[in-house]
Amino acid sequence: MRTPHNVKIIGPMTTQTIGFIGAGNMARSLAGGLLNNGWPANRLLLSDPDANQRRGAEQALGLKTLAANAALADAADVLVMAVKPQTLKAIAEEIATTVQAKRPLVISVVAGIRVDDIERWLGGNLPVVRVMPNTAALIGSGATGLFANASVTAAQRDAAESILLAVGVTVWVEDEALIDTITAISGSGPAYFFLVMEVLEKAAIKHGLDLKTARLLTLETAYGAAKMALEGGEEPAQLRQRVTSPGGTTEKAVQTLEAGRIESIFNDAVVAAIKRARELGDLFGK
């Protein structure tokens, strides 16, 4: 059963200021989720050197934005790093003095970059949580994995989880390497399902359906299958077997997919994504 995430956030946590370095889509989705879940607007800040990004965030969310990352770091009790992997080191070193003085909880949503590297760039001895959300956070249906270093307190774990619960479901892992696996499954995962939708839609059109009908049937079928898996209490294999009648059309289709090595293909895709996440950590984590 899916864990609901639209519970209003109340209490002493909302006296903390959360600052987002980076004002792109992920920062906006997290900030927007917090607003929708009761976080005070005056306790949310975003910074970005790009004036267009700041303007877009202000228009979309009505929140205050800053051009200077150090000014935001000075104001934040929780600092969310939402930037590209190749820029994180320079930004972290730029704000390290301020962060050491302020000592906030640091949350990184940056793909591939490891906690030890982030902590080192920021001057060391800091509570850091590395998270991997996915693009469905933009619509409040994200799936996020979290890993905390030894400096993160129980209260700070709760704070980090509350931020990510505002845009979907969360899972904690105790081995940081598993964040790379989560990156490959849920972080990159929406693209896999979009690809399946895309090819199924193309097949429907190839065999006579018009685009509008093919798209509607494809999307509603995907939605219905996901809803059954989330709410039905059965494993995916059981659901598949239940809708696969012996000698029927579904059985023939599934046999064709299995003959085409669908399990191996998806496993190879996950391995490739894990490998790339680790490469990013090695490349930009020096």
Count Cβ neighbours within 10 Å for each residue of 121-131 and write b for 16 or more, e otherwise. Answer: bbbeebbbbbb
Q: Which domain holds residue 273?
A: 189-277
End of a domain among 145, 166, 182? 182
| Token reading at 121 | 């760039």
Of 161, 182, 203, the one marking the end of a domain is: 182
Query: What pTM does this model have?
Result: 0.90
Q: Find the Cα–Cα–Cα–Cα dihedral 228, 1, 144, 80, rounded to 10°.
A: 130
Ramachandran angles phi, psi of 215, nearest 5°: -70, -45
If asked whether residues 76 and 157 sit together in one domain, one would say yes
Q: What is the DSSP letter of 138?
A: G
**2 falls within a domain:** no
For 114-172, write each residue's pLDDT tens digit: 999 999 999 999 999 999 999 999 899 999 999 999 999 999 999 999 999 999 999 99
How much is the pLDDT for 12?
Answer: 52
CA distance 193 to 206: 20
Give every CB contact of residue 250 below 8 A, 6+ residues apart in sequence. Answer: 243, 244
CA neighbor of 119 nearest in space, from 92, 159, 79: 92
pLDDT tens for each residue of 217-275: 999 999 999 999 999 889 999 999 999 999 999 999 999 999 999 999 999 999 999 99
Count of domains forming the chain? 2
Would you say residue 11 has pLDDT above 80?
A: no
- Look at residues 150, 166, 182 and tell me which one is the last residue of a structural domain: 182
Query: Do residue 210 and residue 165 come from a single domain?
Result: no
166 with 267, same domain? no
Q: Could you tell me if 37 and 122 lie in one domain?
A: yes
Distance CA 57, CA 208 (A): 44
pLDDT of residue 123: 97
Residue 282 in any domain: the answer is no
Same domain as 218, residue 161: no
Percent of the chain with pLDDT over 70: 95
Residue 249: C-alpha distances to residues 208, 210, 245, 246, 253 (Å): 18, 22, 8, 9, 6
